[in-house]
């Protein structure tokens, strides 16, 4: 796979120094290789986007909507191939890969509708002062760099790409080097639809490629999803250019279970929140706060549920959870298992890597974890759940908010008035009540504190790629 970069409407060979090995995590073996883009090729991609911007932002909203609907339709036509690639390169079970694809399709469809609802370019603004008129217009922010992670490829890129195109921006997309293949579908679809050259550009690579993009002075905005450590570097790059940035970063989210809950339902919500995508989610509810009155009934049921999960290769078995996506992540999670042993944590389930080919770990539950434990405070990005008991609603809120992150939370209670009250008190960007983590394109996504800057999805996702211009005229 040499022609792995889509620049100015053409597929080109990578000219960088890095060779990217693409792995099947269920086997721990590579199945493809590609050469990274060079710094010069990143510059070519930004230049192509800059050259395409004037014509693209001048297209009508209905034209852009038609292209977005084309993306949705073309994704559907590639359904089986894309699902299989998600299973093979990410290790996702089939049902998760199917939901990923449906999410991407829905995102393009939603922003097609939103594009058609964009107001006319000019809107009058009433003024209190006589003798003047004013109007406002929404304009595309310009050329945007999109850097997306490996845990939800295709999905995260859709969350960025669809609203950016809807707003009239042109794009340079950099996928993760761990999962570089599936986003190539967007370049193939652009070809199939006749998207004007330079509107969408895709460059693959490792840190050098990402740095070349985030540091490029030809960008008008950066949108990044990934780790806090890389996010801080992206933010420094943006600050050097005084450039707007959207960051969707890490989380250490809480799930709060009150003692009026149905135990079976609570276990279902807890398991989904920590084992979906093998726990490799910024939104993983990895801190379980369980009220004292239900803890002794819930924890054994939760232990059994985790131990009974089917873990294996999604391409050859019917599984509930697949492997971790990369060897680096497998080693990181194994390191936390070692830390748990050093700290003397009480392990009720799992706590080990599985003795088989591939990068598998067991779904894990630790009980009565101290608040100063690294496993309680740090993002692990694996199926590792830490539990603590609480007595009162006030204590639950305080402990849930006691984190440098603030992405999501889940509240489980039969008392809906209390659940809503607790949801309002939690310092996060998204709260679920009595639910698995259902994410809808119409809602917002993003967090507070160390979990990032800005919002994606919904109308907020579109406004992230728009700038506001006011024109004031003297009538005298």
pLDDT digits 0-9 by tens, 8-63: 999 999 999 999 999 999 999 999 999 999 999 999 999 999 999 999 999 999 99
Alpha-helical segments (H) within 137-202: 155-167, 184-193
What six digits make up the tokens of 197?
């050259």
pLDDT at 2 over 60: no
393 is catalytic: no
Query: Distance between CA atoms of 129 and 308, rounded to whole angstroms?
Result: 70
User: Around Cβ 179, how many Cβ atoms within 10 Å?
Assistant: 23
Side by side, which strands form the sheet with 466-474? 123-124, 132-140, 466-474
Tell me the per-residue pLDDT of 264-303, one tens digit each, with 9 for 90 and over: 999 999 999 999 999 999 999 999 999 999 999 999 999 9
**pLDDT level of residue 104 (50, 70, 90 thresholds):** very high
Residue that is written with structure tokens 């890597």 in the block: 353
Query: Distance between CA atoms of 411 and 387, rounded to whole angstroms?
Result: 15
- Local structure of residue 292 (DSSP, 8 states): H
Superfamily of domain 254-440: Aldehyde Dehydrogenase; Chain A, domain 2 (3.40.309.10)
Query: What pLDDT score was predicted for residue 126?
Result: 92
Query: What pLDDT score was predicted for residue 123?
Result: 86
Decide if domain 5-249+451-474 falls under CATH 3.40.605.10: yes
Helix (H, G, I), strand (E, B) or coil at 342: helix
User: Around Cβ 400, how many Cβ atoms within 10 Å?
Assistant: 24
Q: Which residues have a Cβ under 8 Å from the Cβ of 338 and sit 6 or more positions away? A: none
pLDDT at 119 over 90: no
Mean pLDDT within 421-443: 98
- CA distances 37 to 22, 94, 143, 454, Å, are 15, 31, 19, 29
Query: Distance between CA atoms of 283 and 431, rounded to whole angstroms?
Result: 10
Q: Are 397 and 419 in contact (CB under 8 A)?
A: no
Tell me the per-residue pLDDT of 371-394, one tens digit each, with 9 for 90 and over: 999 999 999 999 999 999 999 999
Catalytic one of 169, 261, 282, 412: 282
Query: Distance between CA atoms of 152 and 168, rounded to whole angstroms?
Result: 25
- CA distances 365 to 42, 271, 288, 290, 384, Å, are 44, 10, 10, 13, 6
Prediction pTM value: 0.96
Query: Distance between CA atoms of 399 and 369, rounded to whole angstroms?
Result: 12
Q: Are 274 and 384 in contact (CB under 8 A)?
A: yes
Q: Are 43 and 216 in contact (CB under 8 A)?
A: yes
Catalytic one of 96, 177, 248, 379: 248
Domain ranges of the chain: 5-249+451-474, 254-440
What six digits make up the tokens of 246?
């959207």
Do the first three CATH levels of 5-249+451-474 and 254-440 match, i.e. the same topology? no
399 is catalytic: no
């Amino acid at each position: 796979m040499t022609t792995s970069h889509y620049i100015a409407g053409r597929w080109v060979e990578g000219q960088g120094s890095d060779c990217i090995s693409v792995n099947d995590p269920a086997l721990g073996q590579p199945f493809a290789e590609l050469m990274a883009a060079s710094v010069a090729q990143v510059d070519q991609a930004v230049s192509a986007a800059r050259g395409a911007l004037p014509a693209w932002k001048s297209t009508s909203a209905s034209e852009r909507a038609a292209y977005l609907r084309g993306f949705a339709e073309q994704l559907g036509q590639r359904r089986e191939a894309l699902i299989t690639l998600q299973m093979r390169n990410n290790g996702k079970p089939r049902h998760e890969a199917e939901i990923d694809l449906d999410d991407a399709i829905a995102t393009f469809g939603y922003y097609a509708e939103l594009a058609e609802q964009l107001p006319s370019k000019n809107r009058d603004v009433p003024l209190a002062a006589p003798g003047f008129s004013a109007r406002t217009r929404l304009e595309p922010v310009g050329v945007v760099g999109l850097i997306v992670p490996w845990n939800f490829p295709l999905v995260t890129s859709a969350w960025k790409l669809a609203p950016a195109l809807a707003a009239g921006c042109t794009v340079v997309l950099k996928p993760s080097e761990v999962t570089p293949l599936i986003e190539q579908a967007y370049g193939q679809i652009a070809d199939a639809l006749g998207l004007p050259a330079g509107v969408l550009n895709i460059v693959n690579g490792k840190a050098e490629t990402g740095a070349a993009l985030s540091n490029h002075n030809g960008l008008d905005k950066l949108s990044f999803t990934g780790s806090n450590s890389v996010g801080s570097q992206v933010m420094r790059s943006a600050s050097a250019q005084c450039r707007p940035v959207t960051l969707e970063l890490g989380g250490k989210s809480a799930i709060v279970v009150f003692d009026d809950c149905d135990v079976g339902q609570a276990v279902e919500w807890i398991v989904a929140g920590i084992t979906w995508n093998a726990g490799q989610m910024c939104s993983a509810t990895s801190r379980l706060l369980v009220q004292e009155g239900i803890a002794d009934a819930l924890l054994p049921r939760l232990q059994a549920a985790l131990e009974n999960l089917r873990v294996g290769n999604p391409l050859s078995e019917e599984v509930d959870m697949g492997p971790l996506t990369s060897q680096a992540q497998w080693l990181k999670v194994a390191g936390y298992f070692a830390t748990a042993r050093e700290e003397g944590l009480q392990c009720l389930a799992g706590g080990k890597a599985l003795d088989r080919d591939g990068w598998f770990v067991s779904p894990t539950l630790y009980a009565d974890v101290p608040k100063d434990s690294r496993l309680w405070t740090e993002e692990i990005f694996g199926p590792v759940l830490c539990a603590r008991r609480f007595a009162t609603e006030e204590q639950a809120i305080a402990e849930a908010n006691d984190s440098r992150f603030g992405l999501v939370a889940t509240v489980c209670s039969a008392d809906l008035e209390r659940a809503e009250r607790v949801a309002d008190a939690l310092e996060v960007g998204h709260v679920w009540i009595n639910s698995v983590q259902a994410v809808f394109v119409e809602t917002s996504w993003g967090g507070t504190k160390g979990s990032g800057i800005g919002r994606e999805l919904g109308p907020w996702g579109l406004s992230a790629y728009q700038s506001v211009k006011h024109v004031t005229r003297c009538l005298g």
